[in-house]
Structure 1
Amino acid sequence: MLDETAQLSERIANLEIELAERRRAEELQRALYEIAALSAADSPQHEHYVELHEIVGRLMYAKNFIIASFDAEQGMIRQQYLVDEDPNEVMESFPFGEGISSLVIRSRLPWLMDHALFESLVAAGEIRAPRGVVDFNSWMGAPLIAQDRVYGLIIVQSYSADVTYTQADLDLLNYVASHVAAIVARWQSNIALKQANDELAASAETLRLLGDIGKDLTVSLDALAICMTMEKHIAALLPMDAFGVALLAPDGDSLDYIYYIEDGVVDSANSYPLDHPTSLAVLTFREDRELTLFNDTQLGSAPTATNIEESAPILSAVFRPLIANGRRIGVVTVQSHLADAYQERDLEVFRSATAYAAIALANADAYATAEAARAQAAQALHDLHQAEAHLVHSEKMAALGQLIAGVAHEINTPIGAIKSSGRNISEALDSALLDLPGLLDELDAAHRVHFSELLKRASQPKAVLSTREERAIVREVTEKLEALGLGQARHRAGLLVQLQSHTDVDAMLPLLRHPAVDRILDTAHGIATITTNADNINTAVDRVAKIIFALKSFSRFGGVQVWTESDLREGLETVLTIYQNQIKHGIELIRNFDDLPPVRCLPDEINQVWTNLVHNALQAMDHKGNLTLGLRRDGDNALVSVTDTGCGMTPEVRARIFDAFFTTKPAGEGTGLGLDIVRKIIEKHGGHIFVESEVGRGSTFTVSLPIAGVE
């Protein structure tokens, strides 16, 4: 009977154990189901951590519960959720190192810890006790591992001697942690995906805004308007309390602020010499590098605005050189009262906007130079007309009267080129820049590198090819493209030749096989068109400047003159520039110039000699024939000869040509003072003039001047 009772008791006990295990299994299954349900959330919220805490609390003693994340890149452990019986415990972040949390993550294993094990690990140097004492009775930590990555850990601990965790508790916690890790991994992926989408959207918006900036800046030819437009756009994109643009002065020895605004107040113009010791704009320009300063002592020692009372100190500033066509033209700066105001993305936006501003300001400068040249030409012509009142200049004024139309034509030609190039740039901007943001968005990093190389090749100086040579190259490239199975081979070959990328077709294959190849080539061609036309503007401006210099040299006569050493070749070229329009329509110009040392003389008067002789030679040939200028040395003298193939002179005429008021020209076309003035100027310089002439063959006037000048 006793045996039966014992067996019955044992059976009941086994049933109770089996029932408890079944209930525990059901509780565990329910817990896992609730954990899995949390995966529906896109990102962890506080209530999700609370729910995890409640789930674990149903499975074991968990009054003291921590969930921490692990950032491997930054080497940090951050507590995301903490509940503790000690009210002084708060969530914290600490570096990955030698504590017990770091031990769990480093070993990638669950740990069950009591006083003895903790102290032995400390003694062995495996861990360290940051607080110096053990404040728990029993401690468990399980890593959150998913897809072979440690995302963090779960910790439960007991301060009471009544609660001691077992290996079974640790196994259970580790099992739960493996399921929690999958949820945390999904949360992390969702967060990373959202951040990537947000960054992509921000990048797309930034590209669109940069396109707007480029278009708004480059449509204007007024420097102040360009500065104000850039300020408006930068203020919308970056933290900005101050903004300024300084350009290199025309004499090249200082930086002049053409625009500076701080706290909404525009400052008066300030100028800083290029050797200024504390100007950050000067330092940026001089060292040709971007200057980024955050809470730097240099900000405190830099010069401040003249007429602006600073509301707060500038704590962040970026200075960047303005570079156009490889030449530094100035500096642009953006500044903020905030500390560490500019991140890398802000700097990239500022750099891109600065590049557009440099192009726009260079175009504005070229346009202003051309307009100034036009105004100078008008003023020079006005001054020359007034000089007609002087009898001694009558011959010079008569010649000038015949030159005005030609000079105007010579000036209008490059001005027309500037306007045409400006239109081309505007049209290219409308197509290339509007499509550029979208195109760059379609290209991955590798294709952007190839696209950058394509633009670099297109911007190189172009070799001059004949039409036949260009057609031959296009045919050769077309055959290569067809052999590679590429469509529209003829059209694309032509674009590659224009973009100077035909010599290495293989390097361009990634772009040629890209789905957006036509947009890529068209955009690159548009940007190359902008560069080419900008170069055309610079060439035209140089041509106008040369003409204006010649006109100023031609018109400057009278007043106080100084004897100086002068290059005779330069004077002759100045006169030829003035007569360029008459020469190029029927005259073959021959220069026989030897190298000579400078001649001591009155340059303005000597240039009038060359003007009269060239003018007479052109008239003698009726502006059709050969004009030969010679320059050589004869001992201590410089010899200059002017030879024409005109009608020539009889001996009787030749004998009187240097007489005052003698002329062979019809009434009203000459005063007879030209060669008389020439002779007097040459004699004043201690020189001589000789003439050789033959009827029907032409004349040669030779001037001899002492190189050292008159004694």
Structure 2
Amino acid sequence: MRNDGIKGWGRNAAVAPSPRLIESLRSGLRILAPVLAAGLLMIALFGTGERTLHRLTGAIDQIVDRNLAGSVKLADINTRVQSVNARFNRLLAVKSAGRQGVDVDAELAAITAQVDNLASDLQSYRDVYATPAQRVRLDEILRKLADYKSAVAWVGSMLGIDFASTVSFIEPFGEVFNRVQVELTSIVTETSKDAQGQAVEATRQAEKTIRTFLYSAVAVMLGIALLAWLIGRYQQHLRISSEMLRQQVEARTAELRQANDDLAASADVLRQLGDAGLALTASLDLAEVHEALYRHLCGLIPMDAFGVVRLSGDGRDIVFEHFVLNGRALPAFSRSTRGATEPAARAMKLLTEVVTVGDDASIWMADVVGWADGARIRAAVWRPLVVSGNVLGLITVQSHDGDAYGPRTLEILRSACAYAAIAIANARSYRDLEATLSELRAAQDKLVQQEKMASLGRLVAGVAHEINTPLGVVLTAAGSLYGGVTDLRDAIAGGRLTRAALEQGIAEWADLATVVERNAVRTAALVKSFSAVAVDQVDSRPLETDLSVLLCDVVTLFRPALDRAAIRLDFVVADALVVRTIGESLTDALTRVMANTIDHAFASGQGGHVILSATAASDGGAVITIVDNGAGIPADALPHVCDPFFTTARGNGHPGLGLHVAFNQVTQRLNGSLVVESTQGQGTQVTLRIPSLDS
């Protein structure tokens, strides 16, 4: 089996080449690749040069062929011109010799046809072969050939008429014809020279192109060789850098992986801290806050004991109002702040975090619960709870592990304690607020009762005062009437009654009866007004209420008080101003506003002016205003005049509930509004908007 294993390993080694060999092959391919590319580029360059030379050679051949063809064609035209000229001269010579067998017209027609052919060929040459400069000269030659043709026709017509004049004309025309031949010969010569020059230039360009391709090929080869060397050096450097970078990436990846793990753990801790903060601040019950804090800390940090501590009222003891050891809640206990080794006292006195480890933690816990359970505690943290500079107490967490509370765990504890401090402060404030609110409610009930009794006393006193006056008059008049009747009876019994005495007595008795009747009617009216004001509060259904009657009753009620204070009241209300409302609540509100005006608007004995008015509102309700020209209300007190227990005359027995009760009656029972507007020194206006209520 050992030999088989060796053979198998050998086969695997032969099949799988080593990484170094693979890397060497890759490096060789990286170097050969530019060389192969250079070779292919050189082949492409030489192929391009060869094609360019072929094109240049073809161009040269084309130039030569074109110029040669043009020269031949032009030389042919020149020869044919000479032939035409010679034929015409021969015709003239035959005619001058007097030969009669020559058909002059036929010869002239043939000459004219040759001239037309020459002109046509010359135009073809001009359009195909001539240069721009030559075209101008050829146009002039064509014009001269046209003139020659015309001259031939004229000569033919003149030969039979005046041969001598015709002959004299031919001589100068021949000179012109000679110049045409000279011009054609010159064009032929120039065309040949131009063709030679173009051929020479094309040859020179071909040689230059060959040299350029050769130089480019050499430069490309040198550049490729340099590039291959640089690529090799760069690949070597890149290989080294890649290896270093790979190592750095591996190290950085490991760091990032660890950082991601730490971040995930931190995110989970932050989530748990957020949940803890929500749970702590969601309740205002102190016991629930303690339980929530203990429950969430158990999932965040190692903890075998947990406690919430506060100072006692006198500051002499530290009270452990919530303490849990090994999952078991212990009864509340206290420790003295005078103990030098008490860690809770040190933490609260110095406002700093105290960490005890080892025997110090064990001794403290053993002193609390005994050595059986306490000796196992090896680490403890005492963290003060501070909110806005106020020390609320502290939190302690303790563990069996001496290394349980490292920097990260302490940071988690500090964050949790910050949430806990706010939650405990809110819970304690709520508890204190509930106690204060209960006291305030009791005081409010007491003051409301006092205000009711005081109002009842003032009402009874006002009623007694108002009724006493007419009742006193009635009693006095009744006594006088009784005395007169007694005197009459005695006079009748004694026989002393006279007619005059009887008439006088009857007149006096009639006056006394009138006085009794008038004062009895006044007393009945007062009792009726008092009954309207003191409507039974049980019947609070909305009813059709005539405000002119209700306000008149209120004015009647306060008329004595207004007279005593020398206050003039103007009462303005429309007749039959009916609003569906709760009459007793509106009467109560108006009574309190009027009483407040009489008590506070005017100084004692000063007097003043009050206007009470009521108008209809657009929504079917009414607007009632009480305006006075009294002292007004200070600007700082105006926003609080409807607050409960707010008064500026508490020393005079006013508890500060008058306008508050009126405001509540109008806004809560009548669904209206009560607005107080005032400027100090310029009086006050109270506006009541009373809507029409449904049944």
TM over 0.5: no
Higher strand share: 1
Q: Which has the higher helix share?
A: 2
TM-score (norm 2): 0.35
Return the index of the structure with the highest Cα Rg: 2
TM-score, length basis structure 1: 0.34
